[in-house]
């Protein structure tokens, strides 16, 4: 499932509608994240990815901040468990390696810890609540 035509780095200005649609569905509607917490000043300055299904429909998104912080990873419910999240995370880690950034960081929802551990992330710190959801900081040292 990890193929370039499935996951693409996209321009925020050009693809904001698709990115916003996925994040609104997953975070705001499904997970009840307050709207004011979902959108921030980092969107315009971040690298964004979109994952596309075989029909070319965007079904997942993620963003990467310049400091190596991965965030806002979301896959539409009906497309979860099909490799889109893994494909996006692999693409982000490849991008970080190409930039010679040696550490990836993220705040994982506690329900997703095992997913990130498969990619070499390790829990770093105690559980905390963000937007009403339990999270934990995770770090992955890249070679």
Query: Domains of the chain, with CATH numbers?
Result: 7-141 (3.40.630.30)
Does residue 134 contact residue 109 with C-beta atoms inside 8 Å? yes
Could you give the CA distance from residue 72 to residue 62 in angstroms, rounded to a whole number? 5
pLDDT at position 41: 94
Name the one residue in this structure whose structure tokens are 């370039």: 4
pLDDT at position 5: 56
The residues, any chain, with a CB within 8 Å of residue 39's CB and separated by 6 or more, are none
Residue 94, CB-side half-sphere exposure with 13 Å CA sphere = 13
Could you give the CA distance from residue 64 to residue 104 in angstroms, rounded to a whole number? 9
Bigger pLDDT: 127 or 143? 127
pLDDT at position 80: 94
pLDDT at position 143: 80
pLDDT tens, position by position, 52-90:
999 999 999 999 999 999 999 999 999 999 999 999 999
Does residue 77 contact residue 35 with C-beta atoms inside 8 Å? no
DSSP H helices in 24-100: 35-38, 84-98
pLDDT range class, residue 134, cuts 50, 70, 90? very high
Q: Does pLDDT of 1 surpass 50?
A: no
Q: Does pLDDT of 2 surpass 60?
A: no
Q: Does pLDDT of 3 surpass 80?
A: no
The residues, any chain, with a CB within 8 Å of residue 128's CB and separated by 6 or more, are 134, 135, 136, 137
């Amino acid at each position: 499932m990890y193929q370039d035509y499935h996951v693409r780095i996209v321009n925020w200005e050009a693809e904001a509608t698709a990115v916003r649609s996925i994040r609104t569905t997953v975070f705001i509607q499904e997970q009840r994240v307050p709207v004011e917490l979902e959108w921030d000043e980092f969107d315009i300055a971040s690298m964004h990815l979109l994952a596309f299904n075989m029909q070319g429909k965007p079904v997942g998104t993620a963003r990467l901040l310049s400091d190596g912080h991965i965030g806002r990873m979301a896959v539409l419910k009906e497309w979860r468990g099909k490799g889109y999240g893994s494909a996006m995370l692999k693409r982000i880690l490849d991008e970080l390696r190409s930039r010679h950034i040696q550490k990836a960081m993220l705040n994982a929802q506690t329900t997703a810890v095992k997913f990130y551990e498969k990619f070499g992330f390790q829990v770093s710190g105690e559980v905390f609540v963000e937007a009403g959801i339990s999270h934990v900081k995770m770090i992955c040292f890249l070679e």
